[in-house]
Amino acid sequence: MHIVIAPDKFKGSLTAPEAASAIQRGVRLACPEATIDLAPMADGGEGTVDALVIATGGSYQSVRVRGPLGGPVEAQFGLLGDGRTAVMEMASASGLALLPAGERDPFQTTTRGTGELLRAILDLGVRHVVVGIGGSATNEGGAGFAQALGYRLLDAGGAELLPGGGALDQLVEIDASQCDARLGALTIDVACDVDNPLCGTRGATAVFGPQKFALGRLPTAEDLAKLDANLGHLARIIERDLGPKVAELPGAGAAGGLGAGLVAFAGGRLRPGIEIVIEAVGLQNRLRGADLCITGEGALDGSSAGGKTPVGVARHCRLAGVPCLALAGKIGDGAAALEGQGIDAYFSICPGPISLDAAIDQAGPLLSATAEQAVRLFMAARRQS
DSSP string computed for 164-184: SGGGGGG--EEE-TTS-GGGG
Q: pLDDT digit string (tens) for 239-283?
A: 999 999 999 999 999 999 999 999 999 999 999 889 999 998 899
Q: Which residues are CB-contacts of 168 (< 8 A; sequence separation ≥ 6)?
A: 140, 141, 143, 161, 230, 231, 233, 234
pLDDT at residue 318 tops 80: yes
Q: Mean pLDDT, to the nearest integer, of 330-334?
A: 90
pLDDT at residue 305 tops 80: no
Q: What does the pLDDT read at residue 119?
A: 97
Q: What does the pLDDT read at residue 295?
A: 98
| Co-location of 22 and 132 in the same domain | no
Total domains in the chain come to: 2
Q: pLDDT digit string (tens) for 94-143?
A: 999 999 999 999 999 999 999 999 999 999 999 999 999 988 999 999 99
Question: Pairing relation of β-strands 173-175 and 187-192?
Answer: unpaired
Distances (CA, A) of 173 to 46, 98, 167, 239: 33, 31, 13, 11
State the pTM of this model. 0.87
pLDDT at residue 3 tops 80: yes
| Co-location of 176 and 72 in the same domain | yes
Q: Mean pLDDT, to the nearest integer, of 168-190?
A: 97
User: Minimum mean pLDDT among 22-26, 42-46, 164-168, 235-239: which range?
Assistant: 42-46
Work out the mean pLDDT of the chain and round it to a whole number: 94
Q: What does the pLDDT read at residue 34?
A: 97
| Co-location of 300 and 264 in the same domain | no
DSSP state of 210: G
Structural domain range at position 378: 2-40+283-384
| Co-location of 259 and 231 in the same domain | yes
| Co-location of 308 and 245 in the same domain | no
Q: Who wins on pLDDT, 352 or 180?
A: 180
